[in-house]
């Protein structure tokens, strides 16, 4: 039987051990908490419209309050750190019907979730383009008439120049039947047609440029709209006959591109579009269904040019572009962006058509307000 002092000693030892073990056990517990990692996964995919065109700047989020990401110009997105298990995803974009769905997220390979959004037609303005029209420039009327007829000449169009990737004018001549490129004098390159040893007559924008060898390498190919070449004098059209029969060795006619206004330089579009998201949320900028009268184009109808390469290849499609018309009727170029397009050239054509346009501001109540304007242009080729 133990004495009272012995029992007290044991009790003291037990208490001391508890005091010593307590921090040790606490340390184990804290360490376990610190090393606990909540498993998460990744969701990626692409957002398109009903025609398969990519939808840019669409908002993708896991609910109820997860991270928000936006699609890039190709409609692609990556949503990281989504908790493993059942998750609800939502995608939305002004001008489209929002969608959401439930998915199962794992901690391994990314989950692929693609979306196809339907357009909210009541919020869209639309325009149909059914014919190819060139930018008006009287200089080019003869060239385009001869291009359509294709009688006796060889034509190099702007579309062919862009598709070829050629860097200079002489490179564009290579492969043309009957054209020879050689060197002359101190290494300068010259052009000859068929068996002729004399220089062809060169026209630039309809005016004779040279009666001797022309420096073709001095021409910036980026500024050329088209080229027509006639190998013999018998095939030269009346508009390109030279003085004193200089067309005897053939003719090269070079046409420069029409002058077009360019979109103005603006501050970072990304920065402005981030501001726009906040303005839409706060009501500083309204959507089409929030105004009493939408913004109106004062000149009537937008003058959109059908891209030449797509027209000649019989390619149809559509593009949707958005932009803000502020309460003074001004187009905010920092907000101009392609929402979706079946081909990037269609979106570029729509944006180019906005240059120089004048607008009347949207109305809410009796006051002019800023409106997010969503415009869809369909390009239909009559095949």
Give the containing element (helix H, strand E) for 12: helix 4-35
Residue 222 makes CB contacts below 8 A (sequence gap 6+) with none
Which residue did the predictor score with more confidence, 266 or 375? 375
CATH of the domain at 233: 2.170.130.10
- The string of DSSP letters for 41-94 reads EEEEEEEEETTS-EETT-EEEEETT--EEE--TTSEEEEEEEESEEEEEEEE-T
pLDDT of residue 37 exceeding 80 = no
Among 239, 256, 273, the domain-final residue is 256
How many distinct structural domains can be found in the chain? 4
- What would the two tokens of residue 207 be? 């005016």
pLDDT of residue 53 exceeding 90 = no
pLDDT of residue 3: 42
The confidence band for 23, taking pLDDT boundaries of 50, 70 and 90, is very low
Residue 146 makes CB contacts below 8 A (sequence gap 6+) with 153, 155, 228, 237
Q: Mean pLDDT throughout 127-156?
A: 77
Q: Is 133 a member of any domain?
A: no
Q: Mean pLDDT throughout 269-274?
A: 73
pLDDT of residue 171 exceeding 50 = yes
Q: Is 124 a member of any domain?
A: no
Claim to verify: residue 316 and residue 352 sit in the same structural domain:
yes
Claim to verify: residue 220 and residue 269 sit in the same structural domain:
no
Which residue did the predictor score with more confidence, 369 or 152? 369
Distance CA 120, CA 93 (A): 10
Q: How many CB atoms lie within 10 A of CB 355?
A: 13
Claim to verify: residue 280 and residue 375 sit in the same structural domain:
yes
| DSSP label at residue 199 | P
Q: Is 130 a member of any domain?
A: no
Claim to verify: residue 247 and residue 301 sit in the same structural domain:
no
Q: How far apart are the first and last CA of the chain?
A: 111
Residue 283 makes CB contacts below 8 A (sequence gap 6+) with none
Lowest mean pLDDT among 11-20, 99-108, 293-302, 314-323: 11-20
Claim to verify: residue 359 and residue 281 sit in the same structural domain:
yes
Q: Are 172 and 164 in contact (CB under 8 A)?
A: yes
Distance CA 206, CA 153 (A): 16
Claim to verify: residue 142 and residue 115 sit in the same structural domain:
no
Q: Is 160 a member of any domain?
A: yes
Q: Is 183 a member of any domain?
A: yes
pLDDT of residue 327: 94
pTM: 0.55
User: Over the chain, what is the mean pLDDT?
Assistant: 80
Q: How many CB atoms lie within 10 A of CB 382?
A: 8
Claim to verify: residue 155 and residue 250 sit in the same structural domain:
yes
Q: Is 88 a member of any domain?
A: yes
Greatest mean pLDDT range, 173-177, 288-292, 296-300, 323-327: 323-327
Distance CA 174, CA 313 (A): 23
pLDDT of residue 300: 67
Q: Is 128 a member of any domain?
A: no
Q: Considering Cα of 338, then 46, then 48, then 122, what sign does the dihedral take?
A: negative
Q: In whole angstroms, what separates CA 7 from the centre of its chain?
A: 86
Claim to verify: residue 244 and residue 143 sit in the same structural domain:
yes
Claim to verify: residue 149 and residue 66 sit in the same structural domain:
no
Distance CA 314, CA 8 (A): 101
Residue 292 makes CB contacts below 8 A (sequence gap 6+) with 363, 364, 365
pLDDT of residue 245: 81
The confidence band for 9, taking pLDDT boundaries of 50, 70 and 90, is very low
With a pLDDT cut of 70, the percent of the chain lying above it is 80
The per-residue pLDDT for range 335-355, each reduced to its tens digit, is 898 888 888 889 989 998 898
CATH of the domain at 80: 2.60.40.1120
Among 72, 92, 119, the domain-final residue is 119
CATH of the domain at 364: 3.30.2420.10
Claim to verify: residue 162 and residue 226 sit in the same structural domain:
yes
Lowest mean pLDDT among 77-91, 131-145, 171-185, 319-333: 131-145
Strand pairing partners for 181? Answer: 191
Claim to verify: residue 93 and residue 148 sit in the same structural domain:
no
Residue-number span of the structural domain to which 237 is assigned: 138-256
Lowest mean pLDDT among 33-47, 88-102, 273-287, 328-342: 33-47
What per-residue string of b and e applies to 95-108 under the rule 16 or more CB within 10 Å gives b? bbeeeeeebebeee
Among 256, 279, 310, the domain-final residue is 256
Q: Is 126 a member of any domain?
A: no
- The string of DSSP letters for 293-342 reads B--EETTSS--PPPPHHHHHTT--EEEEEEEEE-TTS-EEEEEEEEEEES
Nearest to 245 by CA among 234, 259, 255: 234
The per-residue pLDDT for range 204-224, each reduced to its tens digit, is 988 888 667 888 888 888 889
Claim to verify: residue 281 and residue 219 sit in the same structural domain:
no
With a pLDDT cut of 90, the percent of the chain lying above it is 23
The per-residue pLDDT for range 115-130, each reduced to its tens digit, is 999 876 544 566 666 6
Category of 364 on φ-ψ map: left (φ > 0), alpha (ψ -120 to 50) or beta: beta
């Amino acid at each position: 039987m133990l004495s009272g002092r012995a029992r007290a000693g044991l009790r003291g030892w037990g208490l001391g051990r508890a005091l010593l073990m307590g921090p040790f056990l606490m340390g184990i517990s804290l360490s376990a908490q610190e090393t606990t990692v909540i498993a998460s996964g990744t969701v990626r995919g692409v957002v398109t419209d009903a025609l398969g065109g990519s939808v840019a700047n669409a908002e993708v989020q896991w609910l109820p309050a997860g991270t928000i990401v936006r699609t890039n110009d190709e409609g692609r997105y990556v949503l990281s750190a989504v908790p493993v298990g059942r998750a609800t995803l939502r995608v939305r974009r002004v001008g489209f019907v929002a969608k959401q769905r439930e998915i199962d997220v794992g901690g391994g390979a990314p989950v692929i979730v693609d979306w196809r959004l339907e357009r909210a037609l009541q919020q869209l303005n639309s325009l149909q383009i059914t014919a190819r029209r060139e930018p008006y420039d009287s200089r080019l009327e003869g060239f385009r008439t001869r291009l359509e007829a294709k009688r006796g000449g060889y034509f190099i169009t702007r579309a062919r120049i862009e598709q070829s990737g050629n860097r200079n004018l002489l490179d564009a001549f290579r492969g043309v039947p009957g054209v020879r490129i050689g060197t002359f004098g101190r290494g300068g390159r010259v052009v000859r047609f068929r068996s002729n040893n004399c220089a062809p007559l060169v026209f630039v924008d309809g005016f004779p440029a040279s009666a001797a060898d022309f420096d073709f390498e001095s021409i910036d190919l980026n500024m050329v709209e088209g080229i027509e070449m006639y190998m013999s004098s018998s095939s030269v059209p009346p508009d390109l006959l030279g003085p004193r029969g200089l067309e005897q060795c053939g003719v090269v006619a070079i046409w420069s591109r029409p002058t077009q206004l360019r979109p103005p330089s603006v501050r970072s579009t990304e920065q402005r579009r981030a501001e726009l998201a906040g303005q839409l949320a706060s009501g500083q900028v309204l959507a089409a269904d929030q105004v009493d009268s939408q913004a109106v184009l004062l000149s009537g109808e937008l003058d959109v040019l059908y891209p030449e390469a797509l027209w000649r290849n019989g390619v149809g499609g559509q593009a949707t572009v958005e932009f803000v018309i502020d309460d003074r009727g001004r187009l905010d170029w920092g907000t101009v962006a392609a929402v979706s397009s079946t081909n990037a050239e269609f979106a570029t054509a729509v944006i180019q058509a906005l240059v120089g346009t004048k607008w009347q501001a949207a109305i809410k109540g009796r006051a002019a307000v800023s409106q997010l304007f969503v415009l869809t242009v369909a390009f239909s080729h009559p095949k």
